[in-house]
Each structure stands twice: as structure tokens, then as C-alpha cells.
Amino acid sequence: MFIHVYICINIYCVLYLISINSLISFSIPLCEMVCALGIEGSANKIGVGIIKDGQVLANVRKTYITPPGEGFLPKETAKHHREQILNLIKSALKEANLNNSDLDVICYTKGPGMAPPLLVGAIVARTLSLLWSKPLIGVNHCIGHIEMGRLITGAHNPIVLYVSGGNTQVIAYSNKRYRIFGETIDIAVGNCLDRFARIIKLSNDPSPGYNIEQLAKKGKQFIKLPYVVKGMDVSFSGILSHIEEIADPSKKRSKRKKPDEPEAPEYTKADMCYSLQETIFAMLVEITERAMAHCDSNEVLIVGGVGCNERLQEMMAIMCEERNGKLFAIDERYCIDNGLMIAHAGAEMFRSGAHMKFSDSFVTQRYRTDEVLVTWRSD
């Protein structure tokens, strides 16, 4: 069975299959219990998850880790995903103690994300859909995070802070849409942390953000950094440029020293990590609190890879307590990109009657959270 899958991953074979099956669409009956397999591969993690009627059956993943000081490039990341995905599918089915005949739907990340890694997941999902005669559902990555958080924590209708390497958004649900109240106007908070980790040559294992978090606990001095909140939006690029000059003074634009200018103080890497975290997390807490006031909400849910950060959770919990609110957060099993969140969101879509024509099963690098019609919520 998996030999056939491997053969069909070849893009030319898949394109041929698409050409002869471009009119395929599966009838989607409304059903109460759904068993879904989800594939997530929008960035440097490739994951496969299986869920049945809200019960977690399997959640496996692999991470593409690069040397210190280096990021992950689309081509190399896609190669890593191709090498791992079939074994992950076999592991997930084994862990769930299921056969392909037990599945009701195949789900994959449609976007947003990096195109080459996204394509790996999409091609394998399309191939499995054809081989196993299963319906196919494309899932918005951001929606996957939100629905996973709601499932695990039991949060009813929270303000959602979605923070990851590619996205920073404050979100609230209203009238069948997840509305974006505020977001970054340049780079995402996770991207800011990852890039600073590369500047100071921190390890990428298990992740740059985690290593910054651990080093920040040793920080003693707070460095005043730019604090950029513009209404409900935030900006991180200027903060990154500023702290980069502190970490590497040779990169300062003006290197001429004034006669009365004092010597620049020396800061440790721990001091810089501590100061960066405190500043950018305070910005996120501010715009989240403003969204709570605007929506008259007393719940906050943090999702996305940066949501694992215990200091961010601590700062947000203090704000929620002061407002007589409640914070909901999840651990790295469900916070970091995973196939289970795609399976769950896809299952919810499938249960509500959503369907996808095979010819529409493409990927898109830009796919905003508020583009998705939320058919599975009745509130």
C-alpha cells in the first residue's frame, strides 16, 4: 500500500492523476462521528494526526533542525518532509490502531505557509484520497490552531492570541468568522525571536524560541527597547534591528562616537533575551487586553508555537486575573504545529457538511484567518 503512495508522490504522477480525476468530488453526508487523518507541513515541522469524534488517537511529528545561526530554507525543508511523511503516516495509523478503511476524511494544510513544504503535504493527501477513495478537506493553518486550542482547553468563546513564527494576530469570533482585531504590521513575533537567536548563534534544537526562553531566565539587566504598539497592531522589525545593534555594535549605522558620549554598557546574551521577551510580550498583552475590553470577554486563549512560552503565559495570566478573567493555554504537544490540529479542524468542517472538489485541492501561501466561513459553530 505505502509503496504505491511513495510512487505517487512523484509530482508528474500526481499531476497525471489530477488530470484524469479533475471532476472528482465526494458526497459528504452529515455525520456525528468523524475519524479524520490530518497532515501539517507549512513550515519546518511535518506532522500527522488522527482524531475520532474529538478523541485524540495519534499525534506524531518530525522537525527539520538546522545548525546554529542558520534558518530553514523552503527547498531543504520540503526535502526533509518528503523523507519523513510516509513513516509518520504509518506510525500514526499504528498508534491509533486503525486501517485506512477506518478513516472518513483526509485533511491537509492548505495555507498559509511556505509553498514547497505545503506542497508535500498536499500531494500526499491528494494521493491518499485517490488511493483510499476518501474525501479531501483543505484546512486553514490558523483555524487549525484555534480549534485545537478550544478542544483541549474547553474555552467557550475566548479572545485568541495567535503567536507563531509566521503569524501574530488577536482574534475574536463573530458571525461565522474569526475576526482579526489586531496583528503585526511587519514580521511575526516568532520570526523576531528566531532571527535574534540566529544573531547570537543559539541552537535551533529543539527550537530557537525555547532556547531564548531558557536563557532569558538568567537575565539580570533590563535593556530599554523600542515599544511599538499602533492601535491594535504591533511592529517587531525595529525592535529586532535595535537589539541586533546591541548584540553586534559593528552593525550600528552611525559608528562615529560623540566626545561626551558615555561608553556603551556591556550586556550578556541572557540580558538581551530577557529584555526582548519582556518588551514584545508586554506589547502582546496590551493589545489582547484591549480586545477583551472591546468584546466584553473574560477569556483568553493562546495558540501557536510561541504560545508554549511560560513567561508569555505568566504575563497574560496576571492581566487576566486583574480583569477577573481566565487564561487558557496548551502545552507543546498541541501548541507547536501538528497534524492533529489539521485533523480536528478538518473533521469539524466535514461534520458540518463542507466538501472540496479534487480540482480545488491546491495550496496557497497567503490564506487569512478571516477568509474562512466557520460553518461548524452555531453560536
Cα-to-chain-centroid distance, residue 337: 5
Angle at which helices 237-247 and 269-295 cross, to 10°: 170
**What pairing do the DSSP bridges indicate for beta strands 105-111 and 35-40?**
parallel
- Show Cβ contacts of residue 7 under 8 Å, excluding neighbours closer than 6 positions: 13
Going by the annotation, the residues of the binding site for a divalent metal cation are: 141, 145, 162, 337
Q: 218-254 b/e with 16+ CB inside 10 Å = b?
A: ebeeebebeebeeebbbbbbebbebbbebbeeeeeee
The torsion region of residue 162 among left (phi > 0), alpha (psi -120 to 50) and beta comes to beta
* CA atoms of 75 and 3, how far apart (whole Å): 24
Classified as helix, coil or strand, 292 is: helix
Cα-to-chain-centroid distance, residue 334: 10
Going by the annotation, the residues of the binding site are: 141, 145, 162-166, 194, 209, 213, 309, 337
Cell 488577536, located at residue: 170
Instruction: Answer yes or no: are the C-beta atoms of 190 and 306 closer than 8 Å.
Output: yes
Instruction: Answer yes or no: are the C-beta atoms of 136 and 361 closer than 8 Å.
Output: yes
Burial class (CB in 10 A: 0-12, 13-18, 19+), 185: middle
* CA atoms of 106 and 86, how far apart (whole Å): 14
* CA atoms of 56 and 254, how far apart (whole Å): 55
* CA atoms of 289 and 282, how far apart (whole Å): 11
Handedness of CA 275, 326, 147, 153 (dihedral sign): positive
Going by the annotation, the residues of the binding site for substrate are: 162-166, 194, 209, 213, 309
Angle at 228 between CA 224 and CA 230, to 5 degrees: 155
